[in-house]
Amino acid sequence: MNSRFFERTAASLLAALLLIAAPGAGMAGSLAGSKGDVHYPVYFPPGTKGDCGKAYNAYIAAGGHSAYASTPIARMTEFFICGLSVNAKSQQAAEDLALRNCQGGSKRYKFQTSGACSIAASK
């Protein structure tokens, strides 16, 4: 009789643990909606034109390892450049590609920015 009691108790505990752990397991599969590791705050001044705002929103929406890089946004400079990588194999690969994309934009568009490209956020 004692063994039957322990079997029922163990089964109940196992079921409770599965119910508690299941929501966390489902969330671990997707990074969508997460800002990830924020290295510095991303801010777009009112009236900003271009696709960097869209790129940052795509970074947030991405479900895999992604990164967003940009030059610093300062009041004294009119322009800034950004780079994006979404759904890469790893966080490091996403950071490398986003940084290369940003640096490529710096070479392509030859205007003065307030600094070099750096990773703003990655996940």
22 and 63 in a common domain: no
Instruction: Read off the pLDDT of residues 23-45 as tens digits, 9 standing for 90 and up.
Output: 434 445 688 888 999 999 988 88
Dist CA 44 CA 98 (whole Å): 18
Dist CA 107 CA 10 (whole Å): 64
Identify the weakest region by mean pLDDT among 10-14, 41-45, 58-62, 79-83.
Answer: 10-14
69 and 46 in a common domain: yes
| Block residue for tokens 């991303």 | 42
Which residue segment(s) compose the domain that 19 sits in? 1-29
**Do 98 and 69 contact (CB within 8 A), yes or no?**
yes
61 and 9 in a common domain: no
80 and 24 in a common domain: no
What's the whole-model pTM score? 0.72
